[in-house]
Structure 1
Amino acid sequence: MAIHSPALDRGQPTGLLLGGAFDDRNEDLAVHNPYTGETIATVSVGTEEDVATAVDGAREHLPPPPSAERAAILDRAARLVSERSEAFARTICLEAGKPMKQARAEAARCVDTLTFSALEARNLAGEMVPMEASTAGAGKVAMILREPIGVVGAISPFNFPLNLVCHKLAPAIASGCPVVLKPASSTPLSALLLARTLSEAGLPPGFLSVVVGGGGTVGNAIVDHPDVPMISFTGSPPVGWGIRQRQPRKEVALELGNSTPVIVEADGDLETAARKLAVSGFTHAGQSCISVQRVYVAREALDRFRTLFIDAVEALVVGDPMDDDTDVGPVIDEDNRDRIAGWIDEARRSGGEVLTGGEVVDGLLRPTVIEGISPDMKVSCEEVFGPVVGLAAYDSIDEAIDLANSSPFGLQAGIFTARTDAAMSWARRLHFGGVLINETPTFRADQMPYGGVKDSGNTREGPRFAVRSMTEPKLVVLQLPED
């Protein structure tokens, strides 16, 4: 296996991580730069047998090292990622096509995720049970301990190849759960680089394994292994819910897609809303589960908002993601670019008006705004995962809430209004895992609970919340001696 881009870290691993060592395999996978199409590295591809080896090695670490030791490992890893943040950012940029300014932000967020996970490891404790609250409990003391669920199988997507991997690995380490990771085949380099960093920070050999490969081979082997009691999956709803259906007796944590809506009331700060939504609709070319996709504007404010929004969108710099000025780069590959372009054409044919963008220039799909979206258009009811935002007018807040809720997804939504008291009431009616008021719903801080309802998933990420799903309660009752 080999590194072909001089911009990658000199110590970039390309082999499978098994037993604490990076191991090359005969079969390899080319990793391409989405902007140039060039091969930046070739990495080893694993097999079902490699997964079995990884699980066997992981089970040797149960019970795990003490929580203080795990916390120290995470703290050291956070320091190393911070020191190497520019190298991590370049890796993210090269393999995912994410502009450097956004890649640097992802590397910084990875440091936060590691740091908050270290805190959770130090605070991992159970709780007391008030036994004397009943006659039956008199003379007894009881406590609930939190124990690791076991080996965690982690499957991560391409769009945040470092921090979404970290949101699986770091809480698992904090919980005391060994991990077998399958990163996205198109973006495995950041995950391998983080794995090397965790090893250097003192993670015991075999506690973490990284096996690159396809979903039908490596992914299925992880999901179906009888000694992997928990699967943590981020990706498409059909695949995620398929895993849940196939493994009903396992803990299956799903963080899936969204068709992110925003309601803009006439009394809201239209300038702020337009500026924030222009950025969050097109960051990483709209390839985030919470990229703004649908904007519903009060009819009396639509003309003003439209002008502000289009001006902000057209001011975005589209181009080479390695350029520090670039705001919008490529989507992950040509197949997805062509799919998104087809959805734009479908919206046109269904009555939508493309106000800006909609064409491919120098291989890049321009940031696209479509007015007149309806709930039956793919750009509305499905997850675009590309640089497309739709606009539509509404005549009452009830209509706006109904439109926002019309999607089968329910991850995050947003409201811009001066009436924050009313917004709290509206937030209760929006069927989403998170509602952001006077902030773009693309916002995420790594310590907050993050997850959705409906087709968007069944879990909450964020170290504190992930640790609870990765640990099991054990009740211990102690009979006190009689006087």
Structure 2
Amino acid sequence: MSTELLANHVANQWTCGSGTPTPLFDPVLGTELVRVDATGLDLAAAFHFAREQGGAQLRALSYRQRAALLTAVGQVLQANRDAYYDISTANSGTVRNDSAIDVDGGIYTLGYYAKLGESLGDRHFLVDGEAARLAKDPLFQSQHILTPTRGVALCINAFNFPSWGLWEKAAPALLSGVPVIIKPATATAWLSQRMVRDVLNAGILPPGALSIICGSSAGLLDQLQAFDVVSFTGSAQTAALIRSHPAVVQRSVRVNIEADSVNAALLLPSADSADSATALGLLAKEVAREMTVKAGQKCTAIRRVLVPAHLYDAAAQAIGAQLAKTTVGNPRNSAVRMGSLVSRAQKNTVEQGLSLLQAHTELLCDCRGMALLDADPAVASIVAPVLLGTRDPDANATVHEVEVFGPVATLMPCRDLAHALELIRRGQGSLVASLYGTDPAALAQTALELADSHGRVHVVSPDVAALHTGHGNVMPQSLHGGPGRAGGGEELGGVRALNFYHRRSALQASSAVLAQAIPAT
């Protein structure tokens, strides 16, 4: 593997940092891969160029024309897909199926928004609802519209999805006509940088439409102006710093946050033992999958598992049996089903969080004693799956507050449905909750009860056992985000994603003027 210094792309040119580079490592082998540095970049010029040059050229295009750009971007990425898989394996330590979630998920999201943009046609703004009459005479009306913001979208991404995290933000922004500056997490910036490099080298996008800065983010927020927007995925601590920055507090820069989330999975109580067994099987399979996919490094992964009290032991056995089938080790070995965490630093963080949870729980299934395949435990950033349990979740605040960002989940019993809902809400707002049962009426009622505190409620019943997309899998058609602790943000959700990159305004005028401004389609 190369140890090149990855260049940043700002103000329509590739530029290397002038400071001491940060090395990126293979989390399984421990070898150095590439280096990144953003020291000395002219950030003011970078933001100005993107805002004035990239933004103007994107806004001059219609939604249909911008959609064509997204299609072309997707074609470039598809052509280089194998290289992205190799980088994902080397820099993120993921098995092929997990790399697919990131790489192919990003390409799929681009394609989805390309098709959506085609359906929006040749307009340069969106119509929001019907015109409203403002006086007794219908001649004078108000029509709400959405126009692209005349600023930059600063997209700050987390380390776990260097491809999907990039394109699920960039696709709606570019389709909206807003230039994008990408700041990937340093530890896994290689994949993001390579994808952006391939797209820019293909000459698809207008100059300034897409930029990338790899390395330290110092000074980025200082460049923000009133009509810029920030889309952030990461820790609640960093989110708080962003929200308190003068650009946000004083200049009202719009911010979207997707942060920590102690997501829950709930097995609904049932009087029928056969139904309970069926639903328990569905839950056990999904919990094990969510614990092991991406080594549990997903903001949407299941962290708390709630079951009727009399099924606590059975659930522990069922989930443990699923976890026991998981082979862990070097993702280059085709027999391995779960790879590593992204770095030694992340491994240390997971182990510290796990120790904290263990002090308040019991060990139900500990796979850390299993042999790793083709991996040296002294070098590899691997933590095998661990299922914890607490029999008194009411008195155990820690399990509702601490998120271990790895292959760790905690099982807990509930007396009845009301008790379960109370426990789930102690997560203080989450990205997703999943429900498992066989009674459509009970599942529907419970889903509606949880909707106010979750961005997404994922319901798994026997009729969709082979169809559902997964508790933790984020689809562009559905909302991604959540209230409270989860950050209070909203991403994706089909055309809703474009709202963040537009400004809503009301045109108050005669029907003749409105007819000129908004021609009939």
Q: TM-score, normalised by structure 2?
A: 0.84
Matched residue, 2:75: 79
Q: Deviations over 1:377-411 (max 9, x none)?
A: 64542221011111112221111111111123421
SS in 2 for 1:62: helix
Give distance in 1, aligned partners of 2:389 and 2:429. Answer: 21
Structure 2 residue corresponding to 1:36, chosen from 21, 29, 42: 29
Contact 2:193 2:214 in 1 (8 A): no
The answer on 1:305 being equivalent to 2:300 is no
2:458 matched residue in structure 1: 436
Write the letter of the residue equivalent to 1:390: T
Mapped pair 1:283 → 2:293: yes
The question of 1:330 aligning with 2:333 is answered no
Note closer, same or farther for the CA distance 1:62–1:366 as it changes in structure 2 (3 Å cut).
closer
Could you say if the C-alpha distance between residues 198 and 464 of structure 1 is closer, same or farther in structure 2, counting changes exceeding 3 Å?
farther
Alignment of 1:371-382 (within 5 A): 371-372=389-390, 374=393, 376=396, 378-382=398-402
Q: Which amino acid aligns with 2:433?
A: A
The one-letter code sitting in structure 2 at the alignment partner of 1:243 is: I
Shift of 1:272: 2.2
Deviation at 1:44, TM superposition (A): 3.5
Distance in 2, matches of 1:302 and 1:184, equals 39
Query: Which residue of structure 2 lines up, in the alignment, with residue 202 of structure 1?
Result: 204
**1:344: how far off?**
2.8
Matched, 1:420 2:408: no
Q: Which moved more, 1:125-134 or 1:418-427?
A: 125-134
- Which residue in the other structure is 1:193 paired with? 194
Shift of residue 131, structure 1, vs aligned partner: 4.3
Alignment pair present for 1:105 and 2:98: no
Contact 1:371-1:391 within 8 A present in 2 as well: yes
Change (3 A) 1:421 1:46: farther
Q: Equivalents in 2 of 1:36, 1:162: separation in Å?
A: 22
Contact in 1 for aligned 2:327/2:335 (Cα 8 Å): yes
For 2:140 and 2:352, locate their aligned partners in 1 and report how far apart those are by CA, in whole Å.
70
* Pair 1:233-2:232 in alignment: yes
2:146–2:499 Cα contact (<8 Å) kept = no
- What is the percent sequence identity of the aligned residues? 20
Contact 1:132 1:139 in 2 (8 A): yes
Within 5 Å, give how 1:43-82 maps onto structure 2. 43-47=36-40, 49-59=41-51, 60-63=53-56, 64-67=59-62, 68-82=64-78
Q: 1:89 aligns with which of 77, 85, 88?
A: 85
Quickly say closer, same or farther: Cα 1:16–1:160, change in 2 above 3 A.
same
Which residue identity is paired with 2:476? D
Partners of 2:328 and 2:337 within 8 A in 1: yes
SS of match in other structure, 2:187:
coil
Q: Does 1:473 align with 2:465?
A: no
- Residue 293 of structure 1 aligns with which residue? 303
Structural mapping, 1:315-464, within 5 Å: 315-358=325-368, 362=377, 363=380, 364-372=382-390, 374=393, 376=396, 378-430=398-450, 431-438=453-460, 440-462=470-492, 464=495
Please report the TM-score for the alignment, with normalisation by the length of structure 1: 0.90
Contact 1:109 1:446 in 2 (8 A): no
Q: What does residue 172 of structure 1 align with?
A: 173
Counterpart of 2:110 (choices 101, 114, 130) is: 114
* Distance in 1 separating the partners of 2:485 and 2:150: 25
Matches of 2:481 and 2:359, distance apart in 1: 34
2:259 aligned residue (249, 256, 259): 256
- Which one is further off, 20-29 or 420-429? 20-29
Report if aligned partners of 2:257, 2:488 keep a CA contact under 8 Å in 1: yes
Q: In the superposition, relative to structure 1, how do residues 391 and 131 fare at CA in structure 2: closer, same or farther (>3 Å)?
A: closer
Structure 2 unaligned blocks of 5 or more: 270-275, 461-467, 514-521
State the partner residue of 1:184.
185
Partners of 1:37 and 1:13 lie apart in 2 by: 18
Separation of aligned partners in 2, 1:53 and 1:207: 14
More deviation in 125-134 or 162-171?
A: 125-134
State the one-letter code of the partner of 2:212. Answer: V
2:464 match: none
Compared with structure 1, are the counterparts of its residues 293 and 324 closer, same or farther at alpha carbon in structure 2 (3 Å cutoff)?
same
Moved more, 220-229 or 148-157: 220-229
| Structure 1 residues 410 and 337: alpha-carbon distance in aligned structure 2, compared to 1, 3 A threshold | same
Instruction: Tell me, in whole angstroms, the C-alpha distance in 2 between the residues paired with 1:50 and 1:176.
Output: 24
Q: Following the alignment from structure 1 to structure 2, what is the Cα–Cα distance between the partners of residues 205 and 274?
A: 50
Q: 2:16 aligns with which of 24, 30, 42?
A: 24
Return the alpha-carbon distance in structure 2 between the equivalents of residues 340 and 379 of structure 1: 14
List per-residue Cα deviations over 1:210-265 (Å, max 9, x = no partner).
111224x1xx4235533662111011112113312321311101111211111113
Whole-angstrom CA distance in 2 between matches of 1:329 and 1:379? 25
| Post-superposition offset of 1:174 | 0.3
- 1:14-39 superposed Cα distances (whole Å, 9 cap, x missing partner): 20112333222333221111111211
Please give the alpha-carbon distance, in whole angstroms, between the structure 1 residues aligned to 2:229 and 2:266: 37
Q: 1:105 to 1:325 in 2, by over 3 A?
A: farther
Alpha-carbon distance between aligned partners in 1 of 2:475 and 2:344, rounded to the nearest angstrom: 31
**Ranges in structure 1 where 5+ consecutive residues have no aligned partner:** 6-11
1:8 maps to what in 2?
A: none
In 1, the alpha carbon distance for the partners of 2:419 and 2:139 equals 56
Counterpart-to-counterpart distance in 1, 2:49 and 2:70: 20
Moved more, 309-318 or 35-44: 35-44
CA shift for structure 1 position 472: 0.9
1 CA distance for matches of 2:50 and 2:301? 36
2-side partners of 1:203 and 1:88: how far apart? Answer: 21
Distance 1:40 1:481, change over 3 A: closer
Residue of structure 1 equivalent to 2:272 = none
Q: Residues 240 and 136 of structure 1: is their aligned pair in 2 closer, same or farther, counting only changes over 3 Å?
A: farther
Cross-structure match for 2:280: 270
| Alpha-carbon distance between aligned partners in 1 of 2:11 and 2:354, rounded to the nearest angstrom | 47
Q: Does residue 4 of the first structure (1) align with residue 2 of the second (2)? A: yes
**Once the two structures are superposed, what CA deviation does each residue of 1:139-168 show, in whole Å capped at 9, x if it has no partner?**
568462422352111101100010011111
